[in-house]
Amino acid sequence: MKSVLLMDFGSTYTKVTAVDVENEKLLGTASSYTTVQTDIGEGLQNALKILERQTGKLDFAERYACSSAAGGLRMITSGLVPELTAEAAKQASLGAGAKVIRVYSYELTKKDVAEIIANRPDMILLVGGTDGGNSECILANAKRLSQTDPICPIVIAGNRNCADECEELLEKWETHVCENVMPKFNELNIEPAQHEIRQIFLNRIIQAKGLSQAAELISGILMPTPAAMMAAMQLLAEGTKTETGIGELVAVDLGGATTDVYSIADGMPTQSNTIIKGLMEPYAKRTVEGDIGMRYSIWGIVDAAGIDRVSQLSGIESGKAKEMIQFLSENTETLPQDQEWENLDFALASLAVETAVARHAGTIEQVYTPMGLAYSQIGKDLTPVRRVVVTGGAIIHTKRTGEIAAHSLQNPNQPGSLRPADAKFLVDRKYILAAMGLLGQYYPDVALRIMKKELVEAYE
């Protein structure tokens, strides 16, 4: 047996997963509170003690970790046009596993720069202009930032014709120049920027988050936790050279503060006579709904869906539902106490999934042209996707997983939403997906086969 330990340092919990890579077997999982305020190794050791009670004492040949502790990788992006380079910068950051806290378009003002400094991001992504195109905006923004004291690394990924000049302007800052995220109009090139962001995370951000305290316990922190999730989803969908994947998929990770949605699909139109508007979407896409979560962002669910729908799904009168939701927002550690509280959590989780996937998926509408009726599509068409993977405490610790997951599908009341039309639901009951994203960096076939074995089908 060759055992490997996979660790996920979360903002609330540190999760550990033990795997036997020789026999392609999951040995056990455990979690404990993350002690990021003191010694992060303490929370890890607590989790390892719980794990050892399941597995017995193991001599781990390798140890790998990912992290979203202390807020994860907090990024600010600045681009030119909101729908184009600014959106490309956002997609590059999210795909790298970052939490994008602000997106700026056009030239930064003094107030914008003051906000950036006040927000204290871990990294800034500075873009703007296609190669050989507009250079005034990115140069002006580099000049604005150069007039302040450095607070974090800056990745420059805009018009290549002025990237060197931007770097010179920002000589006081730690800068990293990489290829343009949008070298041609409407053409995405986000992988180089994502690679650079992850490298900075490894080399610098880990120190700032205090994770280096656990360095002697691990072989290496490879990536932010959302990047590990993305890696797992791509591996599961695409497979390896020797093991087939399960095909295009959508994944939903429902948390207490945010809801992350992933799609591994080309998203091209399935309706004839369809014109795509806006920026072409990445094949592997991640979105983060920072206002949608089961506890810290619970009112965001109500704001998006309406208290009447919460009442309808839960069977709880709206006035009482509001009181219960207020209690949960003030007591975020609360778990369902009886059937009524379970019904409320079911309603909130269902509406969180519905809202987050609707925002992630594209939309389509009819347009009339001189040639007759046509369709206009913005974003990805996910209607052909036949697999939806779900994870997160409120989803995996309930018997109604399939009913919650079904809210990711198309709804007759929202005919313009291009969510999956019909899909099977796979649930990550043991919370292993981020761990498998890590394992897949070294043992992709093993990670893929374990996911195929451990992800179980949930029924409506």
Number of Cα atoms under 13 Å in the Cβ half of residue 369: 11
Q: What is the pLDDT of residues 184-234, one digit of tens each?
A: 988 888 889 988 888 887 666 555 555 555 555 566 666 788 889 999 999
pLDDT at residue number 9: 79
- In CATH, the architecture of 3-69+209-218 is 2-Layer Sandwich (3.30)
Range scoring the smallest mean pLDDT among 41-50, 124-133, 266-275, 291-300 = 41-50
d(C-alpha 42, C-alpha 34), whole Å: 8
pLDDT at residue number 204: 63
Q: What is the pLDDT of residues 4-37, one digit of tens each?
A: 999 887 766 788 999 999 999 999 999 887 654 5
Biggest CA–CA distance in the chain, Å, is 73
Crossing angle of the two packed helices 110-119 and 136-146, in degrees rounded to 10: 60
pLDDT at residue number 14: 82
Predicted TM-score (pTM) of the model is 0.84
pLDDT at residue number 389: 97
Residues 6 or more apart whose CB falls under 8 angstroms from that of 402 comprise: 425, 458, 459, 460
Range scoring the smallest mean pLDDT among 163-172, 185-194, 402-411, 448-457 = 185-194
pLDDT at residue number 73: 75
Question: Domain 73-203, what fold?
Answer: Rossmann fold (3.40.50)
pLDDT at residue number 367: 85
| Closest C-alpha to 350, from 305, 380, 300, 287 | 305
- pLDDT > 70 fraction of the chain, expressed in percent and rounded: 92
d(C-alpha 365, C-alpha 369), whole Å: 13
Residues 6 or more apart whose CB falls under 8 angstroms from that of 338 comprise: none
How much is the mean pLDDT over the chain?
A: 89
67 vs 132, more confident: 132
pLDDT at residue number 87: 84
Q: What is the pLDDT of residues 366-424, one digit of tens each?
A: 888 777 888 899 999 999 999 999 999 899 999 999 999 999 999 988 889 999 999 99
Q: 62 is written with which tokens?
A: 């390798």
Residue 151: is its pLDDT beyond 80?
yes
pLDDT at residue number 34: 63
Rg (CA), the chain: 22
d(C-alpha 449, C-alpha 20), whole Å: 12
Q: Where are the alpha helices (DSSP H) in 246-334?
A: 298-305, 307-314, 318-330
Range scoring the smallest mean pLDDT among 52-56, 111-115, 279-283 = 279-283
d(C-alpha 249, C-alpha 236), whole Å: 9
Of the pLDDT bands very low, low, confident and very high (cuts 50, 70, 90), residue 166 is very high
Of the pLDDT bands very low, low, confident and very high (cuts 50, 70, 90), residue 425 is very high
pLDDT at residue number 321: 94
Residue 164: is its pLDDT beyond 80?
yes
Residue 158: is its pLDDT beyond 90?
yes
Q: Would you kindly state where each structural domain of the chain is located, as residue ranges?
A: 3-69+209-218, 73-203, 236-458
Q: What is the pLDDT of residues 278-320, one digit of tens each?
A: 778 889 999 888 888 998 889 999 999 999 999 999 999 999 9
d(C-alpha 74, C-alpha 86), whole Å: 16
